[in-house]
Chain A
Amino acid sequence: MTSLFEVVPEEAPADTPVRRLTISVNGEQHTLDVEPRLLLAHLVRQALGLTGTHVGCDTTNCGACTVLFDGSPVKSCTMFAVQADGHEITTVEGLASASELDPIQEGFKDEHGLQCGFCTPGMMLTAKALLNENPNPTEDEIRWALSGNLCRCTGYQNIVKAVLLAAAGLRNQEDAGEDETS
């Protein structure tokens, strides 16, 4: 028997409940048949092989599994894959383009905003969502926005600095863009 963990195989027992879903992950469309109980985090990690999304706590607390769901951060370890049917997911793998890093990635590297790296994808995606809403956040706003993501290594101070740096970088990019169009 092939693993149901990834995608329900053709030879699965006839009574295996199956749902077909279509989702966009990092801009790429996928249509898959999955068990309804399959968690979104496992779909992303196993079926799609995007292992940058980490599973830390299984209880929606640590935020290592955070992905963007139509642009908003969600914890994919406590969301069923079928709930994402018809929606757009962004994972850490979708942050950088082939040639350049996202300013949030640059920020985390430049400010030493990570150590073991396990919480980092979730942290960066949550921060990314914050900056999309609020391009010029205060330190308190950043700390509040990130309070659903746990980090055991850094003590958060450098993460806050990383987000501030990324915000400045994004604003500069925008200013440069405006200059070009004007």
Chain B
Amino acid sequence: MTIDEVKIGGLGASRRRVEDNRFIRGMGNYVDDIVLPGMLHMEVLRSPLAHAVIRSIDVTAAWAIPGVRLVLTGEMLASRNLAWMPTLSYDTQAVLATDKVRFQGQEVACVVADDPYIAKDACEAIVVDYERLPAIVNPTQAMADGAPIIRDDKENQPDNLVFDWEVGDKEGTDSAFAEADVVSELELHYPRSHPSPIETCGSIADFDRATSKLTVYMTTQAPHIIRAAVAMVAELPEHMIRIVSPDLGGGFGNKVPVYPGYVVSILASILLERPVKWIEDKTGNLISTGFGRDVYLRGQMALRKDGKILGVRMHTDSDHGAFFSDAQPSKFKIGLMHSAFACYDIPAAHLTARGVYTNKAPGGVAYRCSFRVTEAMFFQERMVQGAADDLGIDQAEFRRLNFVRDDDFPHRTPFGFLTDSGQYGKCLDIGLEAIGYEDFLKQKEEAKKKGRLLGIGISTMTEPLGAGNSREYDILGIKMFDSAELRVHMTGKAILRTGAKSQGQGHETTWAQIVAHELGIPADDVVVEEGDTDTAPFGMGTYASRSTPVAGAAVSMVSRKIRAKARKIAAHLLEVSEEDIDWELGRFYLRSSPDRGVTIQECAMAAYSNVPDGMEPGLENNAYYDPPNLTWPFACYIATVEVDPLTGVWDVLNVVAVDDCGVRINPMIVEGQIMGGLTEAYAMASMQFITFDNEGNCVGSNYMDYMLPTAWETPGFELHEVVTPCPHHPIGAKGIGECATVGGPAAFVNAVMDALKETGVRNVDMPLLPDRVYEALTTSRDVSGAPPIKTD
């Protein structure tokens, strides 16, 4: 009577999603859907200028509007010492501006009123007298001599530098370059982009005067971090704070930081003793919340004639906007940028990195990305293509020559990470076969004779997912472990809670599958809850593709604790010693007489009705999982394109993705993650970016200017899989959510650059808008998306 694991919704089952039952009926529960009795509505007044002194703020007319309950300015917050708040990266950020505004869209005042229409009216009635200052909109300006100091609110901040950091082996790298036959160079800008979930940010703060308990419903990917932050900033006792993250309409890193709107809604609720709802509009979301990228990268690769990479130098200048408020592991200033080149066997590498303040919204969040790995892998794969071209070696062959081989694990990457598993060559071969590489090269030559431009781009990479082990990874000193709590009821049904927080990843479905795999309890018998800090165990939340590597592992471990106790109960029920019984999925049985056994459900009933003498009753437990290492999925993305030489417009012909994320819990959901990621990759390569004019005005403040791909532009994808189990994860899984967003852009860009190869153009910055491609075609010069960066 062996249980079929797939039938009970265990590992490998493309189980239909549990959460969909409410979403397809319009019965999701997003923050804006929540209505509390007596609830008021808050709106934020934002700065129209990127850099200005605030001379005065007149709120008289706003107060006079019927239905207005509260008007707050920075000055009023300052009197309570709340005008500034600490960020997740040891900086400070203005809650409401006092002295100056430092980016367009910065929060200047808030109005709380009976309805949002009145609150908007009142915001318009506030008169702010600004004295405009020159705006700094890129790192070159920020680091220029005599540049205005943006953060003059800070002591010991004599310039606009956020950090100056380095990692790697400088001497070893210098030696590698001394031995090089060829040095390949590349300089590019990874443009600013906004994660832009369709749902904006929002919160409802509900301070209960009777109990002094504060409940905040909010759009957060990391509710427990928020609880800790609120406890420390607002000096409220942590047990009197409950953060609830209900259904989230997408996150992609945008909903990790703490935004002023959340903070002011909390303060307003405490002052008014009524629930206060704040729902950001799209423009507010696009111009003020967590941007990603905006990094200028340049590097050199030392090469031997035969194709061997000897060493790499990299330098990055990152634009963090006015406040360094993205969450990064505190040890690594430019995130995991130094995970670059991890899939290649390179003896030496050195990275220098500078971060600067500018008059732009706080940026640098991990937009579907493990802390800057997106920029790292894009640069890596653009460099690899350039180096292959410089050496005159086929781009696939060049990768194969330099890949870490299957028998070389564990492998120390050039910057010191430890990779543990992979089949890089196999993934590449499957990708080349699927795209029809050799045939395409012939087609390309044929097409060239007719004046048509075809191109093929490859991107291969392994990236570090699942931050992370407590030796190296923390945010504000809090170690980046995660947790799970499992209660098995007497009838064998169960409830599981974790410290992660799904935003579309489908945890309610997949976590139950892990329990099914470990305990043989059908996944349909396990309900999963997340996002309520009063009930869920402490965890660091969901971002950086860390849910399965960390919280998912905790689900396995807590299930195994339950199984260990159930084994003792089974021995008791079978009246034998524990050593005499074995486990098969869902059942303990007598080794000598396999027909005699008890199911996990029978053990559960006994845990509440018939425990052995001396045993604590019940069948529940929790697990905190501190991963021994990151997980290292590998991906090979290949795109083919045709560029129209008359217009610079390019069309995607085919996209092939080969992903090795180890064991797949739910293949359907994994493929959904990959296709979503590829779409964001295509978006960044083709259209999606946010830029600023010289006065610091955000160009891209709504969906008419900020282009996102629709079903019409988005190409189709062909997916393939390779499974190399993670050696240290309890079920062999690796992260997947961000892989395609991280590795995908280079495939598209490399394809277009391949089509343009004859022109000698080395780089066109993303997004590859038709006018940029056209310029490259007609001038045979590189096209930069940004002003050149000062060298030293």
Closest to B119 in A: A5
B30 & A54 in contact (Cβ 8 Å cutoff): yes
Question: Interface readout for A3-19 with B: 1 if CB under 8 Å, 0 if not?
Answer: 11110000001000000
Tell me which of A5, A38, A115 contacts B505 (CB under 8 A).
A115
Smallest beta-carbon distance A82→chain B, Å: 14
A62, B115: Cα distance in complex, Å: 24
Given contacts A62-B198, A62-B703, contact A155 B676 (CB under 8 A): yes
Which residue of the partner chain B has the closest CB to A64? B198
Which of A35, A51, A59, A151 is within 8 Å of B33, CB to CB? A51
The reply to whether the CB of B25 lies closer than 8 angstroms to some CB of chain A is yes
Q: Are B198 and A13 in contact (CB under 8 A)?
A: no
Task: Count residues of chain B with CB under 8 A from any CB of chain A.
Answer: 62
Interface contact A5-B114, CB-CB below 8 Å: yes
Contacts of B116 in A (CB 8 A): 5
Tell me the nearest residue of chain B to A5, going by C-beta. Answer: B115
Given known A3-B115, A59-B282, contact A114–B714 (CB-CB < 8 A): no
Shortest distance between the CB of B354 and any CB in chain A (Å): 31
Instruction: Report the stretch among B339-347, B521-529, B705-713 that lies at the interface.
Output: B705-713
Interface of A is mostly: loop
Instruction: Type the 1/0 row for A149-161, where 1 means its CB is closer than 8 Å to any CB of B.
Output: 1111111111110
- The contact of A118 among B30, B282, B283, by CB within 8 Å, is B30
Main secondary structure of the interface of B (DSSP, over half): loop
In the complex formed, the residue of B with least CB distance to A93 is B26
Interface residues of A in 64-79 (CB under 8 A from B): 64
B679:A156 contact, CB within 8 angstroms: yes
B548 to chain A, nearest CB (A): 15
**Taking the nearest CB of chain B, how far is it from the CB of A26, in angstroms?**
10
Which residue in B33, B505, B679, B704 is a CB contact (below 8 Å) of A61? B704
**Which B224-255 residues have C-beta < 8 A from chain A?**
247-252
Tell yes or no: A148 within 8 A of B by CB.
yes
Instruction: Tell whether, in the assembled complex, residue B249 and residue A4 are in contact, meaning their CB atoms are under 8 Å apart.
Output: no
B16 CB contacts on chain A under 8 angstroms:
109-110, 112
Contact with A along B100-127 (1 / 0, CB 8 A): 0000000000000011111000000000
Q: Which of A46, A110, A154 contacts B676 (CB 8 A)?
A: A154
Is B174 positioned at the interface, with any CB of A under 8 Å from its CB?
no
Q: How far is the CA of A50 from the CA of B196 in the complex (A)?
A: 25
Are the CB atoms of B25 and A54 closer together than 8 Å? no
Residue numbers of B with Cβ under 8 A of A are 16-17, 19-28, 30, 32-33, 35, 41, 66-67, 114-118, 196-200, 247-252, 281-283, 503-506, 668-669, 671-672, 675-680, 702-704, 708, 710-712, 714, 716-717
Add 14 more A-B contacts to A2-B114, A112-B672 (CB < 8 A). A5-B116, A13-B66, A56-B282, A58-B281, A116-B199, A117-B19, A118-B249, A124-B24, A147-B710, A150-B708, A152-B708, A154-B675, A155-B677, A158-B675
| Residues in chain A within 8 A of chain B (CB atoms) | 1-6, 13, 35, 37-38, 45-46, 49-59, 61-62, 64, 91-93, 95-96, 101, 105, 108-110, 112, 114-121, 124, 142-144, 146-160
